[in-house]
Structure 1
Amino acid sequence: MHGIRVIELACDEPGGTIAGPAAGLQLSEAGAEVIRIEPPGGAPAADSVLFSVLNRGKRRVALDLDGAAGRATLAQLLDGADVLLHGLGPAQAQALGLDDAALARTYPGLVVSAIGGWPRHHPLATSPARETLVLARLGLLDEQPGHRAGPVFVRMPFAGWLAAWFCAIGVMARLVARRRDGRGGAAHTSLAQAALAPMGMHWARAQRPTPAFARGLSKSTPIPLHRCQDGKWVHVHYSPDAAPWMAEALAAMGPAAVAAENAKYPPSHVAPNFGANKAIMATRPAQAWVEHFWAHDVAAQVAAPFGAIYASEQARVNGYAVALDDPRRGTVWQPGPAYLSTPPPRVRGPLRALEPAPADLRGREPAAPAPAAATAAALPPLAGIKVLDLGAYLAGPFATMLLADLGADVIKVEPPAGDAMRRLERVFAGTQRGKLGVTLKLGAPDAAPALAALVRWADVVHHNIRLPAARKLGVDDAALRHIKPSLVFCHISSYGPAGERKDWPGFDQLMQAACGWETACGGAGNPPMWLRFGVGDYLAALSSVFAVLLALYRRDDGGEGQSVAASLLGATLPTVAEAVMLADGTVTPVAPLDAAQTGVSPDHRLYRCLDGWLAVAALDEGEARALAGLAGAPAQREAWFAALPRADALARLRAAGVAAQPALEQQGDTFYDDPGHAAAGLHARYRHAVYGELEQVGAFWDFGDLPLALDRAPPALGEHSRQVWDLLGLDAAQVAALERQGLSSSPNPSIG
């Protein structure tokens, strides 16, 4: 992104904001010049660890936007800028002359990304952009299992981190489109849209659901987090029954005892002997178990303390944890870039001092957009880009679904028996829309010509197959770029492309365990708890899409194809940025979740009313005083809320200026009946070959004058095989030979 200038307008919500600064950080470390505008006294949270990480290396400039001189300087900066990031609400933006229409008139080449709490066409668009309140109103706090009944406070600010990546991707997609269309424009997103991304695997509605689709994934499914002999907890993914210690212990227990232990818990779709596994895990120390599992290719991690991941050699060797000389804290370990590309992203130094706006910031010419193209209709940002999806599970397929949403043509390849994830039908469908589906048995010699045709068609090949297997199948970087040197190849691994774990299996659950989020989300004194939103998979997918767009943008500059990489560990580790590791190995403290899983302070938590739960986020001093004036001292507040109907409590809080929202429950179906969500584009609807009318989570961006491509349902198995082989020029004899040998399959006769 060399030569791109970004203006990041600090509109920090009280309590600290992640999305805007984190998006600016990604653009900065990808090579853009980022100038962060702060008020003359600096941002309210400037002394925090999180602020020092998210704003490292940026140029921080003080401007008083309430005065004419400050606004004039901002106008000069925008005149030389390519991108504006801000978190202003619609009315605030208009008052400053920074609404979309005004910016388009004055700076036609400027790309503008606003991150609000809700999309700009949503009834709640003017509400405070505070993550807890957004999650509460959407009903997502009720989607997370807890140590008690009812909605629970989600300690990990996952929506802010996801929104940062959606913002950075939106900016890159709009820059790609600017070269085609000759103009800038909107690339907006919101905390609500980001929070809904993982719900694509849980919230969907079908006209003709199969039993598996209707069943979905219950939040009561037991999670294989097991307490070991030393009191530590280990998260095991999939069944550990084949590991020798476990197999021997199961045999020694005998079928009757195994069945008795299993009967103590609901059935688990990942571990048929869940109860027996739990009993056996209690007989050895945690570290002994994980080392045994690792030696026998069983994916497992200890649920580590928050921030301990900075000491991991695997994190350090891949640059996911980096040492930096912080001006306030000395040498610290903090998150590094989450992906790899050419040139590589780089940390551009620690937090810089706030400075007045010097003259050298003015008068620069922004990068010239392409001459405006005459088109009959506006095209999606990535129209014309071709993507081959060879991935499975979540991270790979979700990444390519996002590219399809942005307008790319995507062909998904799966084996003739189907992607392993198809058994979880709602989860599978939540990562597959927009794609043409084809079946092909990779690795079979007679399938090689069809694979080569697919690769020659593509601009991008993307997958998350473990690399030793990918080499055997002939779908590694070297093999594919031998077929097409200009290709952008993207791979998502579990632990990163270097180090002893580079080829190990891994899953989101294990990254949450390793990074300390399972410990943090359990609450004080409680067992650790996994967030069922699959955060690591989605973060890895998003970081890979950002890397792909960087590669495409650089290729259009006259560069060549390249290999880019992302990983679950690399993408999850930045979410630990509210803490850093000091030189003595200690980790700076973070606000803990209480034992009742209601919140992190009396001013930022859930309260139970007479008829339901309510979320309060009184994050500035004025709101905190108003809350105390209404509900009394912290020890008195639970009684105050418990005596009131939720509507009454909300009315009183809002009248006093305290930010609050109802913590809605059981919103899976209700979500699709909400006209406000529909008006904001949060619903997508299309006809599926099996399910009939299918409703899923909708748009993750708002590009204003450019559409998204949300009109193709997830493919049924082999649905588009004949269409794709036709497109690629395979003749009837070649197609028949593939089908005869079981290397491909025709569409199911019931499809249509």
Structure 2
Amino acid sequence: MPHASHTTNAPPLSGVRVLEDSHTPQARLAGLLLADLGADVVRVVIHDDSASPCTCCGGNPVHHRGKRRVNVSATEIPGLAESADIYLTDRPPGDLHDHGCSAAAIADRAPGCTHVWMPTYGTTGRWVDQLPPDNFLLAALGGVATHGPSADGSPVATTIDLIAPVHAALGATAAVSALVGRARGRHGGAAVVTGLHAVSVLMLTMMVDGLDSEVFNPGSARGPVPSWRGYQCADGEWLFLAALTSPLFIRALDALDRLDILTLPGVDGDPDSIRISPAAATAAGSALEHHFATASRDQWLQTLHEAGVPCAPTGTRQEWRESELVTELGSFTTAEHPVVGRIEMPTIPLTMDGNTWIAGGFDDEAALATLGWDKRGARSAEHRDDLPLDGLRVVDLASYLAGPTATAVLAEMGADVVKVEQETGDPYRAFSIAYLALNQRKRCMSLDLHQSDDHDHFIELLRKSDVLLDNLRPASGAALGLEPQDVARANATITHCSVTAFGTTQAGARLPGFDPIIQSMSGLALAQGGDGPPVVSNISVHDTATGVLSALAITAALYARFSRTGRGSRIESSLAQTTGFAQFDEFTSYAGSPNAVVGGANFVGPFFARSLQRCADGWVAFAAADRRSDAPLAHALGIATPSDAVTADISDRTVDDAIRCATDAGVAACPVLDREREMFDEFLSANDFTQIIDHHIHGRMAVVAGFVRWDSGTPRLAASTEPGTHTAEVLAELGIVERLQT
């Protein structure tokens, strides 16, 4: 398909053929990402297809941007796969085998094609073939609803689909990783990327549990933390204070001239107490509420910005779309759609060597005879037991969440990730169990990049590495002698990815930021809050989605290097760019486009038959496509049909009984995951969701187990590390002995 680009450079996936057999937004968005990066994506539409379409998809026409469409029978898919590099499918397990589209069947017929399977739920267990594909149900089963922004600990429905963008980027990354493996003579066989794998990334630092000792768990926090919440100002406007760490919170209190808050009863001089003690959080939060109400939002933003404290105004989606920052980032574009007319839509949230590619066309119909695909031959692989990125070294110079998520994904694909920290470690180590979950498959070394010898050692590390990922703002990179030209001078073949909050444009280059800041500025917090105060989700969708998208861009650059150019690439990604993709449907606008969902406090869903409801022994999720199911569901439950209200009293029924009634009414339903013992839930355990790691201080920790399953190879063994655990080991590999001798 034709591409629009700022230059004439070819997209990194030029020449790659993708056969997309999709029924869900996540698989379709995965195909869109591959198309925007240059792949020739052909979507198959099967006559009399038995696979259920997703009830939450909404039919966004932009999901098919840059693709061609062919009408085929199911029996023709294996033959088409002989001419493809990637077969991307989201069929449920039983349907996959019935159509002869399993990994084994495709490998037998088309050994040169990589099979990427993206089922909505998992690969086994009660629900995988019983439920229609719907991320509202997956959010209930997988813990996303359980950890929503609730004031009382009850589950919450989000106004956007948090799972689809992460699942899409993860599936696309697995596909491109396989291409990298094939280009390097590695095995590029079959990958399974389930919806629960996407939940694992999304909930990476939220679904954790200390088994031997009590450790602060970000996922267990109930109610707002004073350093990490919204405040209403004297003019009625809202801002979000994002002082994540104790030093940042102290800096914020100093700027606000309210250090006295540290002396309040319950706080008692310990800033960490506000995250642990409800009494301390209430006292400090109340004091700050009254203080912020004494001046306008702009006054407070200026005060906090001058002190270097991350914070942001709360705004609407329209204000975000029209902002100077978003204009400079080029986050949106327009095109003419053959059916719906002029359409405004998000661009791909990545730049590579200054380019942002957008595939042209929308689901253009093609005939099999005119595809122009010749058959691909089988490809030899010298290392058939390897993971696709085995043998590649990735240097992780990032802290906190977004950047390290990218390298965590690359580690799952087989890369050797070396995390470089200052002597005292990544500041995120303050959250011990979350840090462990995020960095479990990485080696850690300590270097002081302000010290000349250590800086030289770091440059030597870059010379012998394939990827550098950092989250340095431009001024910080310049101060460390690590501007893009410095990195390229050290290694012309390295892929250098920088992850920032707001990009490197004039409007955003100096701004620090965290996920809630983007939620607040982009309109997501106002949408979740509805008619009430803005509500920021506990789940860091921008951090995680930015991380996985960065991993996708890195693998695409590696593929271009190994298959065609022999050169490195410069990649930029940001949380600000990602929000367009994270809210893809909400930021897509055309004549007749559906209205975005609006939430409220403790939001349970848009209507009764698509909501979370309390039962006698837990919570149940109903997932009808529209309100027409309200009356049949209410009748089956033996209650009056709710009028305008979403919530109904079914507290006399058990969850299993409510599911049976919903099934009788033709409404899909499932239980909502119980937060207690969530890491050992039967369905999650059947899908290998959890693993136990011994932390070097706190003992056994339950964390998520992985983001992808390959048909060969295993990633590095998960382990807890101290700062500098592998410094000597890595320096020895570099041949640097003087540091070892001292």
1:113 aligned to which of 102, 113, 116: 116
Which residue number in structure 2 is paired with residue 136 of structure 1? 140
Query: Is structure 2 residue 203 aligned with structure 1 residue 199?
Result: yes
- The 1-side partners of 2:59 and 2:263 are apart by 47
TM-score, length basis structure 2: 0.87
- Which segment is superposed worse, 498-507 or 114-123? 114-123
Question: 1:260: Cα distance to partner?
Answer: 8.7
2:375 aligned to which of 365, 380, 403: 365
- Equivalent residues in 2 for 1:135-284 (5 A)? 135-181=139-185, 184-206=188-210, 208-209=212-213, 212=215, 218-222=221-225, 223-238=228-243, 239=248, 250=257, 255=260, 259=264, 268-269=274-275, 274-284=285-295
Query: Is structure 2 residue 325 aligned with structure 1 residue 317?
Result: no
1:597-653 CA distance string (max 9 Å, x none): 110122211122233221100227996675355246334985562332222112222
Checking the alignment, whether the CA contact within 8 Å between 2:255 and 2:307 is kept in structure 1 is no
- Which segment is superposed worse, 84-93 or 179-188? 179-188
TM-score, length basis structure 1: 0.86
Checking the alignment, whether the CA contact within 8 Å between 1:129 and 1:191 is kept in structure 2 is no
1:633 aligned to which of 625, 629, 641: 641
- Equivalent residues in 2 for 1:421-500 (5 A)? 421-500=428-507
- Equivalent residues in 2 for 1:671-710 (5 A)? 671=679, 673-674=680-681, 676-703=683-710, 705-710=711-716
CA distance 1:331–1:292, change in 2 (3 Å): farther
- Equivalent residues in 2 for 1:532-543 (5 A)? 532-543=538-549
- The 2-side partners of 1:369 and 1:443 are apart by 50
Question: 1:235: Cα distance to partner?
Answer: 0.8
- Which segment is superposed worse, 213-222 or 92-101? 213-222
Checking the alignment, whether the CA contact within 8 Å between 2:484 and 2:496 is kept in structure 1 is yes
1:729 aligned to which of 723, 726, 735: 735
Which residue number in structure 1 is paired with residue 97 of structure 2? 94
CA distance 1:33–1:47, change in 2 (3 Å): farther
Secondary structure of 2:499 counterpart: strand
Query: Is structure 2 residue 597 aligned with structure 1 residue 591?
Result: yes
Query: Is structure 2 residue 627 aligned with structure 1 residue 617?
Result: no
Question: 1:302: Cα distance to partner?
Answer: 1.9
- The 1-side partners of 2:85 and 2:25 are apart by 22
- The 2-side partners of 1:506 and 1:9 are apart by 38
- The 2-side partners of 1:266 and 1:443 are apart by 29
- The 1-side partners of 2:294 and 2:231 are apart by 11
1:421-458 CA distance string (max 9 Å, x none): 11111121121111111111112123222112211221
Question: 1:532: Cα distance to partner?
Answer: 1.0
Which residue number in structure 2 is paired with residue 14 of structure 1? none
- The 2-side partners of 1:587 and 1:294 are apart by 38
1:8 aligned to which of 6, 9, 20: 20
Which residue number in structure 2 is paired with residue 644 of structure 1? 653
Checking the alignment, whether the CA contact within 8 Å between 1:437 and 1:721 is kept in structure 2 is yes
Which residue number in structure 2 is paired with residue 747 of structure 1? none
Question: 1:417: Cα distance to partner?
Answer: 1.4
Question: 1:693: Cα distance to partner?
Answer: 4.2
Equivalent residue letter for 1:60: R
- Which segment is superposed worse, 79-88 or 140-149? 140-149
Secondary structure of 1:141 counterpart: coil
Equivalent residue letter for 2:604: T
- Equivalent residues in 2 for 1:19-38 (5 A)? 19-38=26-45
**Size of the alignment, in residue pairs?**
710
Checking the alignment, whether the CA contact within 8 Å between 1:307 and 1:581 is kept in structure 2 is no
Equivalent residue letter for 1:662: P
Secondary structure of 1:593 counterpart: coil
- The 2-side partners of 1:410 and 1:97 are apart by 37
- The 1-side partners of 2:105 and 2:631 are apart by 38
The Cα RMSD (Å) is: 3.4
Question: 1:464: Cα distance to partner?
Answer: 0.9
1:341-389 CA distance string (max 9 Å, x none): 1483412235355x363520265234x564232x4x6112211011111
- Equivalent residues in 2 for 1:406-425 (5 A)? 406-425=413-432
Secondary structure of 2:612 counterpart: strand
Which residue number in structure 1 is paired with residue 62 of structure 2? 53
Question: 1:234: Cα distance to partner?
Answer: 0.9
Equivalent residue letter for 2:536: W
Equivalent residue letter for 1:713: A
- The 1-side partners of 2:48 and 2:299 are apart by 52
Query: Is structure 2 residue 669 aligned with structure 1 residue 660?
Result: yes
Equivalent residue letter for 2:117: A
Checking the alignment, whether the CA contact within 8 Å between 2:210 and 2:433 is kept in structure 1 is no
Equivalent residue letter for 2:198: A
- The 1-side partners of 2:472 and 2:620 are apart by 43
Unaligned runs of 5+ residues in structure 2 are: 1-12
Checking the alignment, whether the CA contact within 8 Å between 2:93 and 2:123 is kept in structure 1 is yes
Checking the alignment, whether the CA contact within 8 Å between 1:463 and 1:491 is kept in structure 2 is yes
Equivalent residue letter for 1:170: A
Checking the alignment, whether the CA contact within 8 Å between 1:463 and 1:490 is kept in structure 2 is yes
- The 2-side partners of 1:575 and 1:230 are apart by 30
- Which segment is superposed worse, 150-159 or 297-306? 297-306
Secondary structure of 1:344 counterpart: coil
2:345 aligned to which of 329, 334, 339: 334
- Which segment is superposed worse, 718-727 or 320-329? 320-329
Percent sequence identity over matched residues?
Answer: 25
Equivalent residue letter for 1:34: V
Checking the alignment, whether the CA contact within 8 Å between 2:580 and 2:587 is kept in structure 1 is no
Checking the alignment, whether the CA contact within 8 Å between 2:142 and 2:684 is kept in structure 1 is no
Which residue number in structure 2 is paired with residue 741 of structure 1? none
- The 2-side partners of 1:49 and 1:605 are apart by 17
- The 1-side partners of 2:262 and 2:716 are apart by 51
Which residue number in structure 1 is paired with residue 355 of structure 2? 344
- The 2-side partners of 1:48 and 1:726 are apart by 52
Equivalent residue letter for 1:7: L
1:88-121 CA distance string (max 9 Å, x none): 1111111211112211111111122222222213
Question: 1:593: Cα distance to partner?
Answer: 2.4
Which residue number in structure 1 is paired with residue 408 of structure 2? 401
CA distance 1:357–1:587, change in 2 (3 Å): closer
Unaligned runs of 5+ residues in structure 1 are: 12-16, 64-69, 738-752
Which residue number in structure 1 is paired with residue 577 of structure 2? 570
Question: 1:170: Cα distance to partner?
Answer: 0.8
- The 1-side partners of 2:161 and 2:306 are apart by 34
Checking the alignment, whether the CA contact within 8 Å between 1:694 and 1:713 is kept in structure 2 is no
CA distance 1:247–1:417, change in 2 (3 Å): closer
- The 1-side partners of 2:614 and 2:575 are apart by 36
